[in-house]
Amino acid sequence: MIIADANGVIMRVNSAFTETTGYTPAEAVGQTPRMLKSGRHDADFYRAMWESINLTGKWQGEIWDRRKNGEIYPKWLTITSVKGDEGVTTHYVGLQLDITDRKQAEKQLQILAHNDPLTGLPNRALFHDRLEHGLELARRHQHSIAVLFLDLDHFKEINDTLGHDVGDILLKEATNRLLACVRKTDTVARMGGDEFTVIITEMRTTEDAECVAKDILKAFSQPFELNERFYNVGCSIGIAIFPEHGQDNKTLLKHADSAMYYAKRQRNTFCIFNNNR
């Protein structure tokens, strides 16, 4: 809690204030709450805050402040103006609640909703969102987009023989190798099991997708070290390209999946979708 005079000068703080901000009463009294400003809010934010206080006598909302140690943190703040007998504001009372834990929990839930918990990659839902956004841009700017559907070869045998823990290690290492083969503007997602997808945006020619597929195959040609032994785990890749092989999200994924199964017959290769197969 903060109690400030009509000019906003801090008159008193309680122990909860000190615990949250790190400032002792001796350090806070005589200062103004501006000592806590994080720099995250612009002048319009504070202007709207004071308009509410002056009009209604109260403001409450989420605000980011800075602790004494420099850490920026979120809090829920309620400011109330207290008026004297003549209706003139004599002081202000600020009640604050540190919501750092709540924010971190919300962030974690957001991650779990959109990312694969094992690899940290976008999950199926976020993949479709990214692809839809990419298609909108591609239509607007007349670009091509490629969807690569990838399935690990021999993953089931390793998972069944060495166990799920080792299988998880393999999936994490496969993720690292995939990410090393694409640009930061591209998307690598895990669809489930040993299936991954890649979205390649702003392609110039079909060869761009083929080059990425070749890089991935080369990366996976190196053995994986699992339980102090080396195992060969290749991959099969199917490719579908917008707009030639589909105009929408579902069609592109379906055709990339179909091409992947064709590649799977030979293993450790890639195949571009062909409607005649």
State how far the Cα of 38 lies from the Cα of 266, in Å rounded to an integer.
Answer: 58
CB 135: neighbour CB atoms within 10 A?
Answer: 22
CB 122: neighbour CB atoms within 10 A?
Answer: 21
∠ CA 193-208-147 to the nearest 5 degrees? 35
State how far the Cα of 4 lies from the Cα of 91, in Å rounded to an integer.
Answer: 6
Query: How many separate helices (H) and strands (E) can be counted in the chain?
Result: 9, 12
Q: Which two tokens stand for residue 273?
A: 């979708």
Among the listed residues 116, 186, 194, 257, the single catalytic one is: 194
194 is catalytic: yes
Cβ-based neighbours of 52, under 8 Å, separated by 6 or more: 58, 59
Catalytic residues: 194
